């Protein structure tokens, strides 16, 4: 039986893939390491969601619970076009080293199960890091389970985020919603003007 270390990006992406990996006969041990998740309150929400998942579906998980803002910014070229690749590399490399140190047979990541990520780039990086660190990368394409996994997360009432994780993806997700922010303020201003 393959003893697999599975990097967990979030609770929502863990649900269906965990079942599939177990059905394949793999012994799965989780690893939560995500210095990319910002801001701090978002990091805590996602961390808590994985803990809640663990209560409903027992799985051993090693947690890196420190907020990784400085680590993320020092490792990722956030001014260039490759920050997502840098982010994948950061998390996969750490997972591979942890897997080797703890004597797992292989490593993988729930990043491979999301339709929102660059699947081929994650696979390429996983294979490169596998060669560098000396531990097999257990590749899977479970993107077809994405909706199923999110549905399971909804039923379990797990927190489901609306952006990838980094502060830049948060900006991209919400940048066009600012006009709604000022509607109440404008109304207040107009009322104030009418009273003068």
For 36, 77, 137, 138, the CA distances from 96, given in Å and listed in that order, are 17, 21, 8, 11
d(CA 88, CA 91): 5
pTM: 0.87
Mean pLDDT of the region 67-71: 95
Using the predicted structure, report yes or no on whether residue 35 has a pLDDT greater than 90. yes
How far apart, in whole angstroms, are the C-alpha atoms of residue 98 and residue 90?
12
CA dihedral 165, 167, 168, 172 (to 10 degrees): 80
Residue 188 confidence (pLDDT) above 60:
no
Q: Two tokens at 110?
A: 């729930």
The pLDDT tens digits for 78-108 are 787 789 999 999 999 999 999 999 999 999 9
Q: Which residue has the tokens 């012994």?
A: 27
Q: What is the CATH number of domain 3-166?
A: 3.40.50.620
pLDDT band (50, 70, 90) for residue 120 = very high
Would you state the pLDDT for residue 97?
98
Contact assessment for residue 50 and residue 8, using Cβ atoms and an 8 Å cutoff: yes
Is the pLDDT confidence value at 190 over 80?
no
CA distances for 122 relative to 27, 56, 101, 127, 155, angstroms: 22, 29, 22, 9, 28
Which pLDDT score is estimated for 150?
Answer: 86
pLDDT in tens, 140-187: 998 998 888 889 989 989 989 888 888 888 888 888 876 665 555 555
Percent of the chain with pLDDT over 70: 90
Q: What string of DSSP letters covers 53-115? A: HHHHS---EEE--S--HHHHHHHS-TTSS-HHHHHHHHHHHHHHHHHHHTT-SEEEEGGGG-T
How many residues comprise the chain?
A: 196
The domains of the chain are located at 3-166
Q: How far apart are CA 129 and CA 4, in angstroms?
A: 16
Looking at residues 36-40, what average pLDDT do you find? 95
């Amino acid at each position: 039986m393959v003893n697999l270390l599975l990097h967990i990006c979030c609770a929502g992406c863990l649900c269906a893939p965990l079942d599939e990996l177990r059905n394949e006969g793999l012994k799965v041990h989780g690893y939560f390491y995500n210095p990319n998740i910002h801001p701090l309150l978002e990091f805590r929400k996602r961390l808590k969601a994985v803990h809640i998942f663990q209560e409903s579906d027992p799985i051993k998980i090693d947690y890196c619970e420190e907020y990784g803002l400085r680590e993320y910014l020092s490792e990722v070229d956030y001014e260039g076009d490759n920050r997502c690749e840098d982010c994948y590399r950061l998390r996969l490399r750490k997972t591979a080293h942890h897997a080797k140190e703890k004597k797992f047979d292989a490593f993988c990541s729930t990043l491979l199960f999301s339709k929102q990520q660059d699947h081929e780039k994650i696979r390429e990086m996983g294979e490169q890091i596998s060669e560098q660190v000396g531990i097999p990368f257990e590749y899977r394409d479970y993107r077809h389970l994405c909706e199923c996994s999110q549905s399971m997360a909804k039923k379990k009432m797990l927190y489901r985020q609306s952006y990838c994780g980094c502060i830049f993806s948060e900006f991209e997700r919400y940048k066009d919603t600012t006009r709604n922010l000022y509607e109440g303020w404008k109304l207040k201003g107009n009322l104030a003007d009418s009273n003068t």
